Amino acid sequence: MKGKVALEEAFALPRFAEKTRWWASMFAVDLDKHAAEMNDIEKIRVEYMDKYGVGYSLLSYTAPGIQDIRNPKKHNCITLHKFKGALVNDTRRSGPDGDDMVFYDSPAWGMFRSTVQELDVSFYLHPRNPTGTQYDNFAQGVSLHILGMVINAYSFDLWRINHWFEDVEKPHGLDCKKAIRDYFTQNIWITTSGNFSTLTLKCCIEEIGADRILFSIDNPFESFDDACPWFDGLDLDHMTKRKIAKELGSFKDEDA
């Protein structure tokens, strides 16, 4: 399929190349290759996109990015610089050892949530790298955070969460304006980023629908060569694939 949109692709500023190499030493087989791909925007990345049929990539500055800056001026990023939204690496950390977790569902972050809603852009909750003595599993950390904001992030748990919150707890005063499942099917999207499992994707399609799933690669942590042939070869009808990978606006090969 040509014209795919890739939602969660990482980059780092070239002046931090040595830091990128240091971080890559924890997982990358080829440090030079990973650093070159991470620091590149216009050459290597575009060559991959052309080769594997990706018409549009949304790039996010890799962790920790600007998350430790007190006021990153999100409003200016969106209105002045035409950013597409905000990617946040799970909780903020505070305290002397970096072990205190700050969640975005707290009243202190009400203005941030209101600004996201006002600007009508996406808030991408992404796992974070370990800090201090906290070494949460990627999925566990984000799931806990989403649960605090509305609902558990595992679609496999959706029936049980919905059952307990709606049928058991809500009659006793759970303060939700919608049914728990409705938040997942109306306010939350999930992506294929770094998880190219056909069985998992089909389960998510059945549970929440293709309308709430978006194609992603997670390049350069994951490769175009793993993600794109997998997606292109899926035994799904054309409309389902289009919903997941293409219906996001005008871009190269959008009608291919």
Q: Which residues are catalytic?
A: 176
Structural element, H or E, at residue 4: strand 4-11
The residues, ordered by sequence, that sit 6+ positions from 223 with a Cβ below 8 Å of its Cβ are 217
List, in sequence order, every beta strand (DSSP E) within 12-153: 54-61, 85-89, 92-94, 100-102, 122-126
Q: What is the DSSP string of 167-214?
A: IIIGGGT---SS-HHHHHHHH--EE-TT---HHHHHHHHHHH-GGGEE
Cα-based distances in Å from 205 to 96, 109, 211: 43, 32, 8
Residue 229: name the closest of 51, 17, 40 by CA: 51
User: How would you class 27 by CB atoms within 10 Å of its CB: exposed for 0-12, middle for 13-18, buried for 19 or more?
Assistant: exposed
